[in-house]
Chain A
């Protein structure tokens, strides 16, 4: 198993001295961390700790926000995200799932087919059909929507829309999947189904899981970072953090439910 240890150690995302500010008001930083290939990297922390900002910095959404100022470096596959010639290609490598489900006002089918169509990789109709079905299956949604692929995606139930969002993220064949508090608007049963999906996906992609459910990080994440009020307090093996072996007392308190 030498091979697997080697690939496990391979660094997918390298974050160096990352700081994020909104119009002079600091939201996060400095953060230094590595995210390895094919791991689930958990990020926990209470509201206002900068978790969402962190994700937005990774896929360079600061470009779309005039007041968001990012300093430091983020390297994906050893290339600084600022040096990617084509940010659109960078974003296509990264699937994103939001806290609140966003079913676009297109049909279920078109929701999933949108990314490949925009990227010009849709191929033939048959190939696209197959891709859509595969993504919906992997998001554990296929059985519920296979008879109404033409219906508006934005009118599915919240939990279905969230899985639709995941299917859409998968349709880009991403190398990185970022989930931002995906279970906020989803019932516990659906949450569990999605968690199972994530465990499967882990072998194929690097997953960044931002969550405010501490136990979700415990269930899924290989390693976890704890953010608090814009500070990256601690990064460690999830097991260690949850065994009470965190180095920082604040991490222990947060995981132990003493605040936040």
Chain B
């Protein structure tokens, strides 16, 4: 009664073959990641030291540290987040909770998703036109950060929207039925349960903002600026641009230096992502429904 029929054995074989196939694909995907990380660590680690992290570049950027670039990247990311998170979450709240389900809303959603795929150089040129020239911010941290914010907004909107949509409609109905306004409902059941998802989207975008070169190159990042910015209207150095410069524009540079910069950049991104995952696990740790 319980012995395997030929069809069961065959299914078993097919199943094993598929498992192998998917497993193989995953290995193929992981190999480049491992090679990149290994190269970075092996070649870049010798360059890393406290002086490297916390002093200015010297000798035409062929020696010394990267502090202005590190500091500048943090500035850019923080200011861009200050703009993109409130705007993005607010837009997502509107789209998810207030907007009527009609053609216009669906078109806006579609446009937002498409906007996420626009190449960053296009955002860069928009930033030059809008923030540097039209709003007269000049090439500055403010202009560069706002350009980064524009670049990251679509993904923040989409991921926030998706995490709000993932909150069961029955929760909203229960609130409305007890006489809660839309806003009370958003505050008490929608946002608290959407926050892990929103955060994930935001922090992934932090990594992206930290790593992009094009959007900041024309809007506020300088190749070499051996002092720290005083306000958001100053220019600044940034890690991504610094890497581009030391890797391609400066002759006679010790090989470990660009690798060191790259390692710091990847390190920042990895730390951010780990933080995001940890935070999300903590928030989602207790399954809520």
Contacts and interface: CB of A to CB of B under 8 A. Distances in A.
Interface of A: 59, 61, 64, 66, 88-92, 94-96, 98, 100, 102-106, 114-115, 118-119, 152, 154-155, 165, 168-169, 172
Given A105-B189, A152-B286, A64 B170 contact: no
Contacts of A114: 175, 178, 188
Contacts of B180: 88, 118
A119 B179 contact: yes
A88 B174 contact: no
Most chain B CB within 10 A, of A98, A105, A115, A119, is at A105
B198 to A, nearest CB: 16
Contact of B288 (A66, A92, A115, A152): A152
B193 interface: yes
B173 interface: yes
B2 interface: no
B3 interface: no
Interface string B267-288: 0000000000000000000111
B50 interface: no
B18 interface: no
B174 A105 contact: no
Given A89-B179, A91-B176, A92-B179, A66 B289 contact: no
List the 4 closest A-B pairs by CB distance, nearest first.
A92-B179, A105-B288, A91-B179, A154-B289
A118 B188 contact: yes
A102 B185 CA distance: 14
A118 B178 contact: yes
A152 B175 CA distance: 17
A115 B189 CA distance: 13
Contact of A102 (B100, B174, B193, B288): B174
Contacts, number: 72
Nearest to B178: A115
Contacts of B179: 88-92, 115, 118-119, 172
Interface string B164-180: 00000011011111111
B178 A168 contact: yes
A95 B174 CA distance: 10
A154 to B, nearest CB: 4
Contacts of B288: 105, 152, 154-155
A96 B177 CA distance: 7
Given A105-B289, A152-B288, A154-B289, A118 B177 contact: no
A209 B173 CA distance: 19
Contacts of B178: 91-92, 95-96, 114-115, 118, 168-169, 172
